[in-house]
Amino acid sequence: MFATRSSRRFYAVAITLTVPSCVAIGYYLRDTTDSSNALISASPTLTATGPPTEPVRLKPGERAQLVKERFAVEERLGKLRGKERELDAEMDELARRLERVKEREREKEMGATEGR
């Protein structure tokens, strides 16, 4: 690749022209995207997705019902997490048992091959 003087010159020229061009293109793209983002964020019509909405006002009975539902969901989630931990522990135990069975089978095979 760099065996001859002309090949070294060719690669030097290629690098000398390519690197600054890439840097210039990067700065240009950065400036254009930055200015377009500034334009979008400065314009309220471009960022608004619809008319402003009022927050939903809940009646005390509705609020109490939502609180009850929230507690019920949290309780159910706690039960599910506990069940998940139990299943993980059971899966680990079964994996250990399977490994012990495989080890015994290997020992039997080794004993059978040594006995021949």
List the domain range (segments joined by +) for residue 35.
Answer: 1-45
39 and 77 belong to one structural domain: no
Please tell me what DSSP assigns to residue 56.
Answer: P
In a domain, 56, yes or no: no
Q: Is the pLDDT of residue 56 over 90?
A: no
Q: Is the pTM of this model over 0.85?
A: no
HEC sequence for 73-104? HHHHHHHHHHHHHHHHHHHHHHHHHHHHHHHH
| Across 32-53, average pLDDT | 59
35 and 69 belong to one structural domain: no
User: How many structural domains does the chain have?
Assistant: 2
In a domain, 52, yes or no: no
In a domain, 7, yes or no: yes
Please tell me what DSSP assigns to residue 44.
Answer: H
In a domain, 5, yes or no: yes
70 and 37 belong to one structural domain: no
| Across 102-112, average pLDDT | 90
Q: Is the pLDDT of residue 52 over 80?
A: no
Q: What is the pLDDT confidence band of residue 2, given thresholds at 50, 70 and 90?
A: low
| Across 108-116, average pLDDT | 78
